[in-house]
Chains A and B, each alone.
Chain A
Amino acid sequence: MANFNTHFMVASGASAVVSGTLLSMEVVSPQEAVIAFLLGVFGGLLPDIDSARSTSIKVGFNVFSLLITAMIVFIKSSTYSLIEMFIVAGLVFGGIRFVFLDVFRKISKHRGMFHSIPVAFIFGIIVSILMQYFFELNSQVSWVYGFMITTGYFVHLILDEIYSVDLQNKRMKKSAGTAMKFGKFKTTKDKIQTILIYASIPLLMTIAPDTTLIENALFSNDAWLIFKDALLPTDGKWFFH
């Protein structure tokens, strides 16, 4: 299993490559590319939030509680006084950062379903829904942000699987296969959990933003041609255009 620093570094590298590619393909603007990069890094740390003592859970919950607090302050800024906002912000931040985190630590199990492929997709879909409904972003940018979360998430899962190979002793560690899995099927509880996770994907898709634009932007013939144009210097000159 890779540690926090490794996950952070690899997720940053992968996220920079993907967001840079999207920028040069003109799928996102420079400002959107920066946010896409940050979300990719965040996605790369997300799977470990089920580990009670990990740095990811602290970082994840700090970011999440700050985001929700800032959002509430924005919503209520026109109606609440400064003191009211200060009290509400404190309560919300404390509630998420300490109370909710404590409950979450008790109910979650490390290397449970958080380390699975369907959950990577669920986080991506949820982010794209939030981006459209909460921040009014268009379908394409909302899905790009969701895509970045899922990409970062996958990078984490792949890295964990790579680290489950012991190269010196030439054997697989006990953790092999626990990071990148399609579900858990050992007990009845595991099976129900897996079914519920899979069932939530089509349900979330009913309220998710339209996918036509992102399909055209990333997976169409046009996208491939744009990518080819962006890949190499079109005028044949390297660095001296």
Chain B
Amino acid sequence: MQKSFKITILTIAIGVFSGCVPAPTPQIGIGIGGAIGQNSQNTPVIQTPQPIKEVEVDKEYGAKPLNYVTSIRSYFTTKIARGNLSTYKYGEPKRAYKRKGFAYGGDIAWKGWLVETSIATPTKTGRMLTPKPYMVLFSGEQIVEHILGYNHKLIVKVDK
């Protein structure tokens, strides 16, 4: 058998068998909130569609983070001692920028969204401490870094 003939047969075979892979069954739904009749044992409940959060995109500062609460919580779990046992409070994202330290040139290092977060962590003995302030810097949904305190000489908060 010629080589080209073998390749053709193999390609057809792959095509045929990949067509046999079960595809997800089409579901009848009304949009957000899942399909009606998906779970036959449950009484179908028509859920009112949740308003889709519009992503606020700033030309200079990028997209405003929407899932910052979840992101911050999971980020600090590994960044601070007993982060998983801590209680968190979050502010609204603010536009901000940060300069590099003068030792590194002093240019603008980051422009994005800053979320002021206060975290109360327990001590080794379990005593809950006064919450500590943190600034969490975002580029879109991505956390770039965190800084202890609500003030830093190299950070400028554009939104007050």
Q: Mark B147-159, 1 if CB is under 8 A from A, else 0.
A: 1111111100000
Q: Quote the shortest CB–CB distance from A217 to chain B (angstroms).
A: 9
Q: Check A116 for interface membership: any CB of B closer than 8 A.
A: no
Q: Is the CB of B127 within 8 A of A229?
A: yes
Q: Quote the shortest CB–CB distance from B107 to chain A (angstroms).
A: 11
Q: Is the CB of A139 within 8 A of B152?
A: yes
Q: Check A74 for interface membership: any CB of B closer than 8 A.
A: yes
- Interface-lining segment among B83-91, B98-106, B111-119: B98-106
Q: Given A220-B130, A222-B129, A226-B129, does the pair A140, B149 have CB atoms closer than 8 Å? A: yes
Q: Is the CB of B148 within 8 A of A213?
A: yes
B104, B127, B154: the one contacting A225 at CB < 8 Å is B127
Q: Is the CB of B130 within 8 A of A229?
A: no
Q: Check B47 for interface membership: any CB of A closer than 8 A.
A: no
- Rounded to whole angstroms, the CA-CA distance of A113 and B25 in the bound complex is 85
B100, B123, B125, B133: the one contacting A136 at CB < 8 Å is B100
Q: Is the CB of B147 within 8 A of A138?
A: yes
Residue among B101, B127, B132 having the largest count of chain A Cβ atoms under 10 Å: B101
Q: Check A71 for interface membership: any CB of B closer than 8 A.
A: yes
Q: Is the CB of A75 within 8 A of B149?
A: no
Q: Given A75-B105, A135-B101, A220-B130, does the pair A209, B125 have CB atoms closer than 8 Å? A: no
Residue of A nearest to B80 (CB): A26
Q: Is the CB of A213 within 8 A of B103?
A: no
Q: Is the CB of A138 within 8 A of B148?
A: yes
Q: Given A75-B103, A75-B105, does the pair A136, B151 have CB atoms closer than 8 Å? A: no
A138, A207, A234: the one contacting B149 at CB < 8 Å is A138
Q: Given A133-B154, A222-B130, does the pair A74, B104 have CB atoms closer than 8 Å? A: yes
Residue among A74, A134, A220, A234 having the largest count of chain B Cβ atoms under 10 Å: A134
Q: Is the CB of B81 within 8 A of A26?
A: yes
A134, A140, A230: the one contacting B101 at CB < 8 Å is A134
Residue of B nearest to A226 (CB): B123
Residue of A nearest to B151 (CB): A210
Q: Is the CB of A75 within 8 A of B104?
A: yes
Q: Is the CB of B103 within 8 A of A234?
A: no
Residue of B nearest to A220 (CB): B130
Residue of A nearest to B101 (CB): A136
Q: Quote the shortest CB–CB distance from B94 to chain A (angstroms).
A: 17
Q: Which residues of A contact B125 (CB under 8 A)?
A: 229, 234
Q: Which residues of B contact A225 (CB under 8 A)?
A: 123, 127
Q: Given A136-B154, A139-B151, A212-B149, does the pair A74, B103 have CB atoms closer than 8 Å? A: yes
Q: Check B124 for interface membership: any CB of A closer than 8 A.
A: yes
Q: Check A6 for interface membership: any CB of B closer than 8 A.
A: no
Q: Check A51 for interface membership: any CB of B closer than 8 A.
A: no
Report 18 cross-chain contacts, Cβ distance below 8 Å, ordered by A residue.
Answer: A26-B81, A71-B103, A74-B103, A133-B153, A133-B154, A134-B101, A134-B103, A136-B100, A136-B152, A138-B148, A139-B151, A141-B148, A207-B153, A209-B153, A222-B130, A226-B123, A226-B129, A234-B124
Seen from chain A, the residues whose Cβ lies within 8 Å of a Cβ on chain B are 26, 71, 74-75, 132-136, 138-141, 207, 209-210, 212-213, 216, 220, 222, 225-226, 229-230, 234
